[in-house]
Amino acid sequence: MAELRPHLQAGDFVSTVRHMETEGYRLAFIERGRRVVAVAGYRITTNLFMGKNLYVDDLVTAADARSEGHGEALVSWLRELAIAERCEVYHLDSGTQRHRAHKFYFREGFNIASYHFSQPLQPG
């Protein structure tokens, strides 16, 4: 996960994930030996726009383990989970600069469904 979220220190990562878990966040991962090579953070929620949905907050494969099928395996597992949970939509956001990730998502059957707008706020 550090490759995707390098701004987080290890202690901050753990405390943030623990807080997110209280809001329904879950982690799924693939190990090779004793090393995590791919990880996904996701949550199942319901909203008025999409109904019940599975949202992927985080999805990353270690740079030296890419193109080995780990990302595909996680995306497939998450899709099956969404179906089993009777979700209407399976979705994620991806930074506009992440061109390789976009190609991967298109190959996995995702399409661009909306723009995501954000506005940074001063902590307060």
State yes or no: pLDDT of 44 exceeds 70: yes
Does residue 116 fall inside a structural domain?
A: no
Residue 44: name the closest of 28, 29, 31, 61 by CA.
28
Q: Which of the four pLDDT bands, split at 50, 70 and 90, describes residue 123?
A: confident
User: How far is 74 from 28, CA to CA, in rounded Å?
Assistant: 8
Does residue 15 fall inside a structural domain?
A: yes
User: How far is 25 from 29, CA to CA, in rounded Å?
Assistant: 14
CATH number at residue 30: 3.40.630.30
Residue 64, Ramachandran bin (φ over 0: left; ψ between -120 and 50: alpha; else beta): alpha
Q: Which of the four pLDDT bands, split at 50, 70 and 90, describes residue 31?
A: very high
Does residue 41 fall inside a structural domain?
A: yes
Q: Listing from the earlier edge strand, what are the strands of the sheet with 51-61? A: 26-32, 35-47, 51-61, 89-92
